[in-house]
Amino acid sequence: MSTEVKVSLMEQVQSNTRLSFWFHQTLSIIKLEIRKNFWGRRILPIYLFSLTPVAIFFLMNLYPTPSKSLGHPTTAATIFANIHEGVIVRTIVFFGCSWIFTNLFRGEILDRSLHYYFLAPVKRELIVLGKYFSGLIVSATLFISSTVVSLLLYYYPRGYEASMQYLLAGSGLKQAFMYLVITGLACFGYGVVFLVLGLLFRNPMIPAGAIYGWESINFLLPPFLKKVSIIHYLNSFRPVPISEGPFAIVAEPTPIWLSITSLLVIAVILLVFASYRIRSMEVNYTD
């Protein structure tokens, strides 16, 4: 075997070993951060916040209509579609992700513990990846669970037989799946945005409020500006059409495959930026 081949094989082995080592380091950070995010004191408000739509539907079941009916299935589906987008995605998921992901780094600074990560023999880029995926797992688990329970409580007044017929014989199962996909992708997209805000701003709530305003007026924006938002790509997955009002500017919906690709590209760009930012980041707890 020639010397060049031996050197190439050794380099390949070293590269595979390095990638395996980085993978296990990232996995360790994810496990550590999940424990902190699931059981830390800062997550308690999010537990209560994620239960808001569940509480709404629970109260609706306590005081049902005399007929205990949601009317026509199409009407019922439209009502839930509006609640899911207006309450769960635009409010619960948005502000929940804002709290979870901005605190991934700001919380460490407030606790004066971020320097432990920086002093550890681990690449800072892996810290960013580990923290992001831990926040994604926590937020998706909470908000997807909230969506599932909300769906069950919403259709409970129709009775078991009618609900099962709607889910299994009608389009209800597909609609329910798409609601879970939208919730998960909202955590994916908003999470990476708020992770970057937590790295850039001392008080990320101000830019988070600006982003919320931009997302809220998305229906009024011209088509080329609609694409500069997360909600535009989430709307491509709507299982039920929703009216945005008489003043909405209608735009051609983005195909689902392009929406997924766009969200992935946005996430990669922002994670690369966050990795670049954290390389030069210095911890000064006195600030």
Residue with tokens 């070993």: 17
* pLDDT score at 182: 95
Closest by CA position to 192, among listed 266, 261, 142: 266
* pLDDT score at 186: 95
Cα 13 from Cα 283, distance rounded (Å): 36
* pLDDT score at 68: 47
* pLDDT score at 71: 56
Task: Write the pLDDT tens digit of every residue in 8-46.
Answer: 434 554 555 778 888 888 888 899 888 887 777 778 888
| Contacts for 155-158: CB closer than 8 Å, 24+ residues apart | 155/70, 155/76, 156/61, 157/60, 157/61, 157/64, 157/65, 157/68, 157/69, 157/70, 158/68, 158/69, 158/70, 158/76
Instruction: Give the list of residues 6+ apart from residue 127 with CB closer than 8 angstroms, or none.
Output: 29, 117, 278
* pLDDT score at 221: 85
**84 belongs to a structural domain:** yes
**4 belongs to a structural domain:** no
Could you tell me if 58 and 153 are in contact, meaning their C-beta atoms sit under 8 angstroms apart?
yes
* pLDDT score at 70: 55
**286 belongs to a structural domain:** no
* pLDDT score at 160: 61
Work out how many domains the chain is built from and give that number. 1
**7 belongs to a structural domain:** no
* pLDDT score at 170: 64
**250 belongs to a structural domain:** yes
* pLDDT score at 266: 93
**234 belongs to a structural domain:** yes
* pLDDT score at 137: 94
User: C-alpha 144: how far from its chain's center?
Assistant: 10
**14 belongs to a structural domain:** no
Mean pLDDT in runs of 10 for the chain (287 residues)? 46 63 87 82 84 86 58 73 90 93 85 82 89 93 93 75 65 86 95 92 86 88 85 89 75 86 94 89 68
**70 belongs to a structural domain:** yes
171 is in which domain, residue-wise? 30-279
Task: Write the pLDDT tens digit of every residue in 44-64.
Answer: 888 888 888 888 888 877 766
